[in-house]
Every structure is written in structure tokens, then in C-alpha cells.
Structure 1
Amino acid sequence: MLHPDTIAEIADELARADRTHSVIPRITARYPEATVEDSYAIQGVWRDRNIAAGRTLVGRKIGLTSKAMQDATGITEPDYGVMFDDTVYASGAEIPVDQFSNVRIEVELAFVLKTALAGPDCTLDDALAAIDYAVPALEVLNSHIELEGRTIVDTISDNAAYGAMVLGDVRRRPDEIDLRWVPALLYRNGEITETGVAAGVLDHPATGVAWLANKFHQHGSRLEAGEIILAGSFTRPMWVSRGDVVLCDYGPMGSITCRFV
């Protein structure tokens, strides 16, 4: 494992890259011995410094939960990161593109917990019982590490490439809709670019919530009531640039729009 000083130095690099909207060389190219445990340690230092600076944690993102995303990245296991309150947008928002690097959009569902959820043996049924409601969400990816050749270690260190999320207006309890069959049609400037269905995420989009609760148990923690869990994309990422208008049609769960300025 990496020395704690090295972990802190990498967290500093990523914080500077976030402030300057720039990209740093791959961690694994410079530290090939770095492990997944190191990457979560780097993310944890970065997270704790943000909380100490006054940012409020509102939830967690899960990534790389679908075959589409694993094929797009070459990474074959899920990961997770943190989400702060100042990264949450409502549908219809104008999003400053200069705040992000390597800007892409992913199509997801988000879940808000009504009760805490803990492992070690959390199941899909446990997750569904703990969820208050599901809501459509777009994730804005924000990568501060060069994309070519990156590994799961690079991605996790960079807060799982999370930048922001845009939440829809339609909320549904798990017993009100078959979450596996929530569809998505993703448009950029009126042209359809991606389609998908929520079952593409681990066969049920809430499966990732159970996976995360079990993962947290390994670190002596749990998911708390009120947290937003962004469950993972069921389409490939779509690149966006300044001026692009994004629309995602979720069928019975409404639609989300945003514009990058």
C-alpha cells in the first residue's frame, strides 16, 4: 500500500485539478503498486478535507454497475464516490461546462433512503424496504485523471469521476412501478444518442444500493436515512460541450432537461 504521505499528496493534486478544471497523469502510471484500498484512502482524504471546509455530504454515487459502462471503460467492478449538496441541480438547469473536465452525461436512477441500511448481508429486498422513493437522474462525469489507460484505482481516487447530478421531478416508491423496466431515451440537441432500460444495472437498479451497504459494512459504516444513492448508468456516457441541450425521456417517470453554458 502507498505511504500516507503519498496518499495525501495525490489527494492534494486532485483537489488542485478540481479547482483549476485540469487533468493530472494517471496515478497507476506513477505508482503501479497502488491498490484499490489506496484509491479509497485517497478519496477519503479528499472527502474529509471538503467536509472540513464546509461542504455538506448528501449521498453516494455507485459507478460501473452496468455492462454498457464496463465495456465503455474497460473496468469490470463497481465503484463508489461521494456527492456534496452544491453538486445537485434540478431539471431545467443551466450548468457551467467550465466547472468540469472531460464532461460526459450518464443516465441513471437515484434513490432516497427513508431508513438506514447496513450490511453485511443486505439483499435487494432489504434495499427496497429502506428506499423512500426513486427519481430519474443524470450524472455529469468530471474526470481529473487522463482517460487513456486508466484503471479502477485511478477512477476511485478521482471520486469515481463524479461531477454533478441533475434530478427529475417525478418520484415513485418501489411498490408503485417496476423499476427494472424504467426506460431512457437520451438526446443531445434534439438527436437521440443512447437508449437503455434500468435492468441494465445489475438486473435491478436497486441491487447496487444493497451492494454499497455491504461494502460500507467492511469499513464499519452504513448508509444513512435521507441519503441520495445514485445507482449507476444504464447507457454509455455521452460527451457534451458548451451550448449542448440534453434531454432524457424516462417514459412513465417523466423527463430531465439541462443545458451546458
Structure 2
Amino acid sequence: DLTNPEDQKRLGISFMNNFNEAKPITAIPAGELSEENAYKIADYYVEEQLKTRGTIAGYKIGTFARGEYDNGPVEGLSGPVTAVMFSNGIHKSGTHISIDCCNMSFVEADFGAVVKSDAINSAKSDLEILAALSGFIPFIEMPDIIQPVEGSTNVSGIATNYDFRNAFIGDLIATEPTTEWIDRLNNFSFTMINETGELLAEGKIENAYEPLYRVRNMRDRLLLRGRSLKAGDILSLGNMGAIRPLKENLYFDASVRPVFRGNIATVSYI
């Protein structure tokens, strides 16, 4: 009974075994799990992760296009998904992670923000939000999908903490609360290459999202979960347009998201 707190706790704790053994969970049938209860299960899972995965380093956001939820819930979600990131899963640029770590992983070209003060929790305008940030960081996520190939849903993805496992971060790009910086944040390009310099993907942030819009919505969704932001929190704003699986798989259409070619992924921001 996924409405029962004891069963929610039992399920959330059980996901740790799937995480450690890098194996998919049993599918949770669509309709059996509400968004509200999925977050309750996720909180139990997060508590279990914190026993071995360090501290809460920040948060990530997913399933989100501008205006997507303006007219009400979409496929059981009242808004974009938020998930917790752990300090033991945040790695400096240049760190090596074996693809054998995971059930199904990929490299994703993301963009991250770093919180400067808890003023972000009450910031109203984009300039106020920018003032409450230290700046932004290059960010590559390497999650591990422990949802099954068949039968997974966005709601069940909430329960498994949206599959966070690893991420790589670059140096902080310090920003100032100015309209010029807002314009720069909304108008950069990115590339993803491998160690031979082969171009694997490229794109523009304007075709993905506005970073401060994402920060605002992530903040709002986290506050609804009872999680306020604090100085030092890293906010992963999501895929800019490049996901490359690290091995052959049944999760992605290879014509859309081909397997990563090489051993080293480098994402550059231009």
C-alpha cells in the first residue's frame, strides 16, 4: 500500500539495494503512485543514501519545459521534478568513473548554479535571484537509471530520486546581478567532444531554457517539499541538449541519442 508510511519507508529503503547493485527496481504500475506519495518515498530513499553518500550537496530538476505546467498537471505531475544530489557523487572535472558503476548511465551536458545566500528563498526578481547566487558552473551529470525499461513513469522516477548518482563540475563562473549578465546567461552556446576532439553534440542555451527561470522554479518546487536552499548548494538546471548513453541499451533511441564514442567527455561553454 503506497499510501501507507511504513510501506513507503520500506520501499524507499529497498531502493538502496538496487542502487548498490546497479539493478533496476520492479516497475511501479502507473496509477498506483501519486506525486505526493512518490516524494515521500524519495525522502525515505534520500535518508538512506545519506548514511553512505555524504551530505546534501544540492539539487537537480527535470521534466521541465517553459510553461509546461501553466494549465495544470501533466501526466500526474503538478510541476517539474526535483531530486537531491549528494556530496560523494559530486566530482571535480577530470575524475574518472567506470561505466561499470551503473545499470544504465549516460553523460548529459548540463549547466549548474551555486547558491550564495539563503536570500534566494525569498528573492522575487531575476536580479534578486542572481544576487543570491555566487555564479554558475560547468556541469556534466552521469546518472544511473534504475527504473526498468518497461513500466517506468515520471512519477516513479521521483521515488528513485530521479536517478542521481554522479556529476562532474568545473570552476565557478562568478556573476553579478546585472541585466548584462542575465543576457549573457540566456545567450551562450555549448559543445561536447571526446578525447580525440570529435564533436559529439552542440547547441544553444536559448533552445533549452533560461537559467534563472529554472533556478526560480527549482527553488519554488523545493520549498513546496519543505527544502529551503542554503549557501553552497549546487543546482543542476538540466540537460542543455546533449545526452549520450555510455553503452548499448534499450532505454534510448540510438538514432536520437547515440552511444558515447570515446573515454573522456568535455563540455565547453562559449
Provide the TM-score with structure 1 as the length reference: 0.82
In the alignment, the residues of structure 1 paired with residue 95 and residue 51 of structure 2 have an alpha-carbon distance, to the nearest angstrom, of 28
Determine whether 1:36 maps to 2:35.
yes
Contact between 1:28 and 1:153, CA under 8 Å: does it hold in 2? no
Pair 122,157 (structure 1): closer, same or farther in 2 beyond 3 Å: farther
Partner of 1:114: 116
In the alignment, the residues of structure 2 paired with residue 122 and residue 215 of structure 1 have an alpha-carbon distance, to the nearest angstrom, of 15
- Tell me the alpha carbon deviations over residues 225-246 of structure 1, each in whole angstroms, 9 at most, x when there is no partner: 1111111111142111496221
4+ runs deviating over 4 angstroms = 74-77, 174-177
In the alignment, the residues of structure 2 paired with residue 173 and residue 86 of structure 1 have an alpha-carbon distance, to the nearest angstrom, of 26
Partner of 2:251: none
The AA in structure 1 aligned to 2:267 is: C
In the alignment, the residues of structure 2 paired with residue 182 and residue 75 of structure 1 have an alpha-carbon distance, to the nearest angstrom, of 33
Partner of 2:45: 46
- Tell me the alpha carbon deviations over residues 59-80 of structure 1, each in whole angstroms, 9 at most, x when there is no partner: 111123358xxxxxx9985211
Partner of 2:106: 104
Contact between 1:106 and 1:238, CA under 8 Å: does it hold in 2? yes
> Which piece of structure 1 moves more, 188-197 or 13-22?
188-197
Pair 54,103 (structure 1): closer, same or farther in 2 beyond 3 Å: closer
The share of aligned pairs that are identical, in percent, is 22
**Aligned-pair Cα RMSD in Å:** 2.6
In the alignment, the residues of structure 1 paired with residue 242 and residue 158 of structure 2 have an alpha-carbon distance, to the nearest angstrom, of 18
Partner secondary structure for residue 17 of structure 2: helix
Determine whether 1:244 maps to 2:263.
yes
- Tell me the alpha carbon deviations over residues 90-109 of structure 1, each in whole angstroms, 9 at most, x when there is no partner: 11111122222211111111
Matches within 5 A, 1:124-143: 124-143=126-145
Q: Which of 198, 212, 215 is 1:191 aligned to?
A: 198
Partner secondary structure for residue 41 of structure 2: helix
Matches within 5 A, 1:217-228: 217-228=223-234
Partner of 2:13: 12
Contact between 1:63 and 1:80, CA under 8 Å: does it hold in 2? yes
Between Structure 1 and Structure 2, which shows a larger proportion of strand residues? 1
Contact between 2:135 and 2:172, CA under 8 Å: does it hold in 1? no
The AA in structure 1 aligned to 2:63 is: L
Q: CA deviation at 1:170?
A: 5.1
The AA in structure 2 aligned to 1:11 is: G
Partner of 2:59: 60
Q: What is the count of residue pairs matched by the alignment? A: 241
Pair 103,213 (structure 1): closer, same or farther in 2 beyond 3 Å: same
Contact between 1:196 and 1:234, CA under 8 Å: does it hold in 2? yes
Name stretches of at least 5 consecutive residues in structure 2 with no aligned partner: 67-74, 248-259
In the alignment, the residues of structure 1 paired with residue 27 and residue 125 of structure 2 have an alpha-carbon distance, to the nearest angstrom, of 35
In the alignment, the residues of structure 2 paired with residue 84 and residue 247 of structure 1 have an alpha-carbon distance, to the nearest angstrom, of 22
The AA in structure 1 aligned to 2:246 is: V
Provide the TM-score with structure 2 as the length reference: 0.79
Partner secondary structure for residue 144 of structure 1: coil
Q: CA deviation at 1:216?
A: 2.6
Contact between 2:113 and 2:236, CA under 8 Å: does it hold in 1? yes
Pair 39,165 (structure 1): closer, same or farther in 2 beyond 3 Å: same
- Tell me the alpha carbon deviations over residues 80-121 of structure 1, each in whole angstroms, 9 at most, x when there is no partner: 1111111111111111222222111111111111111225x8
Matches within 5 A, 1:20-31: 20-28=21-29
